[in-house]
Amino acid sequence: MTDLDDRERRIRATVRAIDRYCARNKIPIAIDGAVDEATAATLLGYSSADALRKQASDGVNRVPYRVLGNRRLYRKADIAAEIERTYNGPENAE
C-alpha cells in the first residue's frame, strides 16, 4: 500500500465519521455531500464559523466551498482531507 492509498483510506474513514456525526446530530447534508459553514467549523475544530468566514474574506481558505445564496457550503471530503492534512507524522510529510 502506498502513502497515497493510506491517505485516501484515512480520508474515507474520516468522511464516514463525519456522516455518523451528522446523522447523530440531525445535520442536513446537501446532495453533493456538503454541510453548512457552522457544521464545517465544528468538524474542523474551530470555536465558531467566524474563522472560516475570515479565511474566505482574506482569500486564504484552507477548505474549498461553494456559495448558495448568502451561505457557504463545504464538502465532507474536503473537510476530511483538511483534517488528515493537519495531522503530524511521517505519513503526512511532503
Domain extents in the chain? 3-92
pLDDT, greater one: 87 or 11: 11
Residue type, 7: R
| pLDDT, the chain, mean | 90
Report the distance separating Cα 23 and Cα 1, nearest Å. Answer: 31
For residue 41, the model assigns a pLDDT of 97
The residue ranking higher by pLDDT, 23 or 1, is 23
Q: Note the pLDDT tens digit of each residue in 4-43.
A: 788 899 999 999 999 999 999 999 999 999 999 999 999 9
Q: What do you get for the CA distance between the two ends of the chain, in Å?
A: 17
Nearest partner of 66 among 38, 28, 45, 36, judged by Cα: 36
Q: For residue 42, what pLDDT is reported?
A: 97
pLDDT tops 70 at residue 91: no
- Please determine, for residue 90, whether its predicted confidence score (pLDDT) is greater than 60: no
